[in-house]
Each structure stands twice: as structure tokens, then as C-alpha cells.
A and B are shown apart, each in its own frame.
Chain A
């Protein structure tokens, strides 16, 4: 199976919170990332979390990490139409030169 799994689509109403979920398989993961990709563009690093942390908050973004279940989530508060994009979860391990392994991405659609 895939090393990093994400659901493919999420649709939310503008102003609501979005929660994008991800599961990973490598228990030696050191860093876990969330990237955003807008149509026709490269990847923008949104945030990352060290594996010894449970939570990280950065303005409208909250990352939760459950190491026991190997589950990572990204919550976007007050979702705006500009948040519509594909969101990639990725993991990397120290022994792998921090090269991230990406999921297939979750397409977030924000409608008025």
C-alpha cells in the first residue's frame, strides 16, 4: 500500500473549518509536512511538525499528530475561497536525508 494516504476530495462552505486527514506508515518518520499546490503552480510549504510534537498552530492552521495511530491532520479555520487547492501530506525520516514522501493530495473545494 501507499506510504502516505489521504482522501482525494473535500468540499466545504466558505467560513467553515476544513479538516484534511492523512495516515502514514513509517514509524521512524521524523518530520511531517503539509504542502499546498494551487492550479498550475509548484508546492508551497504551509507548515511542518516534528514527530515529538502533538500539535502546532500557525494563524488559521492547526496541525495535529497522533503518533500511535500514525495520523496527521490539518485544520484550516474560517476557510476562504483562496484556500481552494490541493493539499499534500508528506513524511520524511532523518536517515533518508529528509527526502519527503508525498501522498496523492487532497483537493479542497471551497464554495460560497
Chain B
């Protein structure tokens, strides 16, 4: 158990719909990263939030957006869903102090999204 929780565990949507996934960080962690893991692949970095601001972004289109709240929990929003968005979405929390981000990320169990 890492202390990182995600909801929902599973979700089915249709093409064109919008989805919001949620993540609660491990206690004491102020940085949240989101990853997409397609079947048979390693996790791909979507973006990272630190102190409620985006702190880095991977190669994902703008329809992938996020939020981080004052309590450091986070949301991932995906608009105009496509079939290829079907994947396991993982959230990871870590601790950053000043300009230095601690090296260890702790992952939640993920939300499995199926787009039909």
C-alpha cells in the first residue's frame, strides 16, 4: 500500500465523451504526476503538478488537462475521448522541496478506462 488512492477503479465511456479521473496523494506529498499505460506498454508521462501548477508535460494533446487542489489531490480530465484513450491511468505522488523534486514516486492502483 502506497497511500495513493484513485477513483474510479474502472470506467466505460463512448467516443466523444469527457472523463474526469481523481487521485489523492500520499500524506505529505505535494507533487502529482499522471501516466497513461496502454495494454502491453510501459507508463507514458502525461503531466506533473506541483503547488497547483503544471510542472512538466509529456507528448499528449491539449484535450488532456489537469488540476491540483490545495490539499494536493488531483484530477485528470480528458475531452473528446478517442478509442486509443483506452488505457490504465496511473497517478503517482512525490515530495518536492524548493526546486528539487525527490526522486521517488509512489503509484496508485490506477483507473482502467475503456472507450467504446
Query: B26: shortest Cβ distance to chain A, in Å?
Result: 12
The 8 A CB mask of A26-68 against B (1 = contact, 0 = none) is 0000110001000001111100100000000000000000000
Q: Which of chain B's residues 76-116 have a Cβ closer than 8 Å to chain A?
A: 90, 92, 94, 101-110
Contact residues on B (Cβ < 8 Å of other chain), bracket = 20 to 34
Measured CB to CB, the residues of B under 8 A from A are 2, 4, 6, 33, 40-45, 48, 55-56, 90, 92, 94, 101-110
Q: Which of chain A's residues 82-112 have a Cβ closer than 8 Å to chain B?
A: 88, 90, 92, 96-105
- Chain A residues with Cβ below 8 Å from B110 are 41-42
A-B residue pairs, 4 tightest by C-beta: A102-B42, A43-B107, A42-B107, A42-B109
Contact residues on A (Cβ < 8 Å of other chain), bracket = 20 to 34
Measured CB to CB, the residues of A under 8 A from B are 4, 30-31, 35, 41-45, 48, 88, 90, 92, 96-105
A103–B33 touching, CB < 8 Å: no
Select from chain A the residue with minimum beta-carbon distance to B88. Answer: A42
A98–B94 touching, CB < 8 Å: yes
B48–A99 touching, CB < 8 Å: yes
- Chain B residues with Cβ below 8 Å from A96 are 56
A101 to B33, CA, bound (A): 13
